[in-house]
Each structure stands twice: as C-alpha cells, then as structure tokens.
Amino acid sequence: MKILVPVKRVVDYAVKIRVANGKVDTASVKHSMNPFDEIAVEQAIRLKEAKKATEILAVSIGSTKAQETLRTALAMGADKALHIDTGDSETLPLQVAKLLKAIVDKEKPDLVILGKQAIDDDANQTGQMLAGLLGWPQATFASKVELAADNKKVNVVREIDGGLETVSCAIPAIITADLRLNEPRYATLPNIMKAKKKPLEKLTPKDLGVDYVGKLTTLLVEEPPKRAGGVKVESVDELISKLKEKGLI
C-alpha cells in the first residue's frame, strides 16, 4: 500500500505575526511543517511500521524553501519526497488540489493523508476538494484511523460538532488528520543524516500538465484592532444601562 502525504511549510505556530506592507511578514521568520501535516506524516509512518503500508511519498507545493519541510518528512520516516516548484506565488487550496490530483494520477497511492487545515490560512478545503476532483471517499477530522483486515477499507473516527462519528471508506480514500489523531515523533539524528540520501524529485506544475491559475485575489490583510481598555462602572444599574446601550441585552 502506498501513501501520499502532502506537507506545507508555514510560519511556525509560536511566532508572533506582524503585518508589513499589506502582507504577513514572513522574512527572517521561523517556518516549520504545518502541525496537522506532521500528524499526517506520523500516521503514515505508523501504518508502515504496522506493515500495512509499504511506501510513503511526501509532497510539498511551494518555493524551493518547501524542500526544508520535505526533508523533515524524510527525517521522520517518509521514503521519498516530491517538490512541486511554484516559485514565490501564493498557492491556494483549489490549485493545490488540482496539482495533487495530477500527482495521484501519476503515483497511484492507495491513501492520501493530509492535515485538516494549514495554520496560516485555516482554509480546511484542500483534502475535501481533492476528494471531489478524484471522486474518492473522504474521512475528514480523523482522530482514529484503522485499516480493515483485508486492506480494502479504512475505518475512521471523526471529530464532529456533536461528538464522534465513525465512517468506513473504501480504499483508495482521502483522510484529513485532526489534532488528537496521534502525537508526532521527533526526527532522530541518524534519520536526519539518512534523509539526505533519500530521493527528492523536483517538478513544476507544467510538468504535471496543470496550468490552473487561482482566481482569488487578496484585497486586504490587517492586524486585529489593538485591545482597548475596558470601562469601569460604579454600580450594577450603570452596568445594565451600558449593556442595553450596546444592544447586548
């Protein structure tokens, strides 16, 4: 069984975001693999360790810096990596999904495991769009993944608003990873060194025959308004009248 794991290089979760020149300032800022993608990679590796999967291919779409993230995936235990070079342009979910479809058609994985969303855009769209483009079943917000004994179906427990839902999908299928699916391992020093020898292929969207250009334009990026001080009130009556003033009661 072959597993495809798309990974995205994002601004590190601990970084304090600043807006400069109408965009999020990403120069000299620490970047890392999207945390949900790490969980996806970890899940793929666990399936391989359980001898259910035989090969893990990590793919990243973005500038050459995306290769850093691919190396992390290789150091965690992925077997091969693929970089789709889109230069410095912004990659939006539909474009990514179309590129991933082309890769799926080419590489023929049995499972695609993605993070549920990226922490920079919080889109939560790519996995779902990919399933739609491929016509494959999707199990999103996975908190538990179990392959059926015959390896033809996958049972996934999903975290939904009302609680937990268990779905069964025929393979091939799309799974998106939620926070509680697993706790990703650290890469080890020996694996970091071995990762250098693992294959890392580089392609462009043109090589895949995908020339889709996104139709979305970002109009405005701004920081949230600075927290203003609160107002002290002298009595309960004043509190009630102020709340009424603001239309809150």
Partner 1 sequence: MLSRPSLIRSAFSARALLSPLAVPRRTLLTSVVDAKAGLSEQEVEIFDLAKRFADAELAPNMRRWDETGEFPVATMRKAAELGFGSIYCSEEFGGTGLSRLDASLIFEALSTGCVPTTAFLSIHNMVAWMIDSFGSHELREKWIPQLTHMDKIGSYCLTEPSSGSDAASMETTAKRDGDHLIINGSKAFISGAGTSDLYLVMVRTGGAGAKGVTSVLVEKGTPGLSFGKNEEKIVVTFEDVRVPISNIVGEEGKGFTYAMKGLNGGRVNIASCSLGGAQSALQAAVDYAGTRTQFKTPLSGFQNTQFKLAEMAMKLTASRLMVRNAARAIDAGSPSAAATCAMAKAYATEECFQLCDDAIQIHGGYGYLNDYPVGQYMRDLRVHRILEGTSEVMRMIVAREILKD
Q: How many residues bind partner 1 (CB under 8 A)?
A: 19
Q: How far apart are CA 89 and CA 218, in angstroms?
A: 12
- Say whether residue 186 binds partner 1 (CB under 8 A): yes
> Which residue, among 17, 4, 225, has the nearest Cα to 121 in the 3D structure?
17
Instruction: Scan for tokens 């150091």, then name that residue.
Output: 75
Q: How far apart are CA 44 and CA 39, in angstroms?
A: 9
C-beta of 32 vs 138, nearer to partner 1 = 32
- Say whether residue 229 binds partner 1 (CB under 8 A): no
C-beta of 160 vs 193, nearer to partner 1 = 193
DSSP single-letter state for residue 181:
G
Tell which positions 30-49 bind partner 1, by CB under 8 A.
30, 32
Instruction: Scan for tokens 């650290």, then name that residue.
Output: 186
Q: Minimum Å distance from CB 187 to partner 1?
A: 6
- Say whether residue 15 binds partner 1 (CB under 8 A): yes
- Say whether residue 188 binds partner 1 (CB under 8 A): yes
Determine how many CB atoms are found less than 10 A away from the CB of residue 59: 27
Report yes or no: 53 and 47 within 8 Å, Cβ to Cβ.
Answer: yes
- Say whether residue 187 binds partner 1 (CB under 8 A): yes
Tell which positions 73-92 bind partner 1, by CB under 8 A.
75
- Say whether residue 194 binds partner 1 (CB under 8 A): no
Q: How far apart are CA 13 and CA 168, in angstroms?
A: 33
Q: Minimum Å distance from CB 12 to partner 1?
A: 9
Determine how many CB atoms are found less than 10 A away from the CB of residue 242: 13
Task: Return residues touching partner 1 (CB under 8 A).
Answer: 14-16, 28-30, 32, 68, 71-72, 75, 186-190, 192-193, 196
